Structure 1
Amino acid sequence: MLFGEMTSFGEACDLMSVAFDSGVSLFDTAEMYPVPQRAETSGRSEEFVGRWMKARRREEITIATKIAGPSGQMSWIRGGPVALDAANIKLAVEGSLRRLGTDYIDLMQLHWPDRYVPMFGDVDFDPARCFKVLQHIASK
């Protein structure tokens, strides 16, 4: 999750190569990585994994990545999605496939639930911060 922010492409390749040569075949990333999250670097971790993977046989590597859901932050990811609906999931998958430079993802995960949860430093549940997911769904 630090590839592209605190870890350069060369360092990321070295780390992934040592892991792969030692028998690791599952590599996990996310569309929102690296952290800390910034618009300028969003998706760079997936790009690094994809560039590294080009020098290997794709069928020997298992790729897992994650879709960012509503957070009230990261508006640069799909406009700050209000829901993990079919349209947002489709856009996220297409973006991840493009950044990874592959035609399939082995495991696609939701990074967090499609509802307000305290995260990114928040520790207390605040009902006033609940997303308008129900309103969004009801309007369809």
Structure 2
Amino acid sequence: MKMNKLGSSDIEVSHFCLGSMTWGTQNTAEEGHAQIDRALDAGINFIDTAEMYPVNPISAETIGRTEEII
């Protein structure tokens, strides 16, 4: 997996990122865990939890759910 430096830090993140904003609404916790396992097996260490895209509007019921699953 190609790795990229995160800003000016010494942290390296994978070139690819696992999107997780719909976990807890469109995906179960078990599905989220399976996706994390598969991503880690592929060398991905970067997970995007932002609930900022137009697919699913921000909802008080789902804020923080992805982070709980992770």
| Structure-2-length-normalised TM-score | 0.57
Q: Which among 26, 40, 44 is matched to residue 65 of structure 2?
A: 44
Paired with 1:7 and 1:42, the residues of 2 have a C-alpha distance of: 14
Unmatched runs of 5 consecutive residues or more in structure 1: 50-140
Segments of 4+ moved more than 3 angstroms: none
* 1:46-61 alignment runs, 5 A limit: 46-49=67-70
Alignment match, 1:2: 22
Greater relative CO, 1 or 2 (CA 8 Å, sep 6+): 2
Unmatched runs of 5 consecutive residues or more in structure 2: 1-20
Greater share of strand: 2
Q: Which has the larger radius of gyration?
A: 1
- Equivalenced residue count is 48
Alignment match, 2:48: 28
Is the 1:3–1:12 contact (alpha carbons within 8 Å) kept by the matching residues of 2? Answer: yes
Is the 1:31–1:46 contact (alpha carbons within 8 Å) kept by the matching residues of 2? Answer: no
Could you say what the CA RMSD is over the residues aligned between the two structures, in angstroms? Answer: 2.1
The one-letter amino acid paired with 2:22 is: L
Q: What percentage of aligned pairs have identical amino acids?
A: 42
Greater share of helix: 1
| Structure-1-length-normalised TM-score | 0.31
Deviations 1:66-88 (A, max 9, x none): xxxxxxxxxxxxxxxxxxxxxxx
